[in-house]
Amino acid sequence: MADFPANLRYSVEHEWIDDASPATVGVTSVAADALGDVVYLELPEVGATIEAGTVVGEIESTKSVSELYSPVSGTVVEVNTAAVDDPAVVNADPFGAGWLFKVEVSAEGQLLSAEEYAQHTA
């Protein structure tokens, strides 16, 4: 069973979110591995109001395009422009430098603990 950072929570769509305010959102190593090499990111715009469980962007890899869902509702306050410029960081460091956007959370969707997410992906 893969190990996932215990300080994060997870969506069944393979996003992670931390407990900070504003919260940081990214995709998990499971998603990054399944996608293959990420070559293009379309992220929500700063100031956008987003809803949990809805599509807020796209992650494009060498072989496929996937929709990016938001694990929470709220207002986007920052996007990772370094990752937009060099999307390979999503594969290299999905839980760190490969974060995607920061959001002022108004409501949460269904989120899993690291242990629950590990079971979900096992």
Partner 1 sequence: MPETVPEAATAAATLSPLHDEHVALGANLTEFGGWLMPLRYTSDLAEHKAVRGAAGLFDLSHMGGISVTGPDAGAFLDHALIGNLSGLAVMRARYTMICAPDGGVLDDLIVYHVAPGEYFVVANAANAATVLVALLERAAGFDAQVRDVSANQALIAVQGPRAEEILREVLTEDAEISGGTALDDLRYYACLGMRFGDETVLVGRTGYTGEDGFEVWVDVPHAVALWRALLAAGEPYGLVPAGLSARDSLRLEAGMPLYGHELDTTTTPFEAGLGRVVRLDKTSEDGTPVDFVGREALAARKDSAPARVLVGLRGTGRRPARAGYPVVRPGADGAPGPQVGTVTSGAPSPTLGSPVAMAYVTPEVSAEGTELAVDVRGRAEPFVVVALPFYRRG
Q: Which residues of this protein are in contact with partner 1, per CB under 8 A?
A: 12-14, 27, 30-31, 33-37, 39-40, 58-69, 88, 91, 121
- In angstroms, the CA 25 to CA 64 distance is 21
Nearest distance from residue 67's CB to partner 1, in Å? 7
Nearer to partner 1, 19 or 33 (CB): 33
List the structure tokens of 61.
């890899």
Nearest distance from residue 21's CB to partner 1, in Å? 25
Phi/psi at 117 (5° precision)? -65, -40
- In angstroms, the CA 58 to CA 67 distance is 5
Nearer to partner 1, 37 or 106 (CB): 37
Nearest distance from residue 38's CB to partner 1, in Å? 10
Nearest distance from residue 78's CB to partner 1, in Å? 21
The amino acid at residue 114 is: A
How far is the CA of 15 from the CAs of 32, 42, 120, in angstroms?
10, 15, 13
Evaluate whether 9 touches 24 at the Cβ level (below 8 Å): no
Nearer to partner 1, 39 or 114 (CB): 39
Nearer to partner 1, 36 or 96 (CB): 36
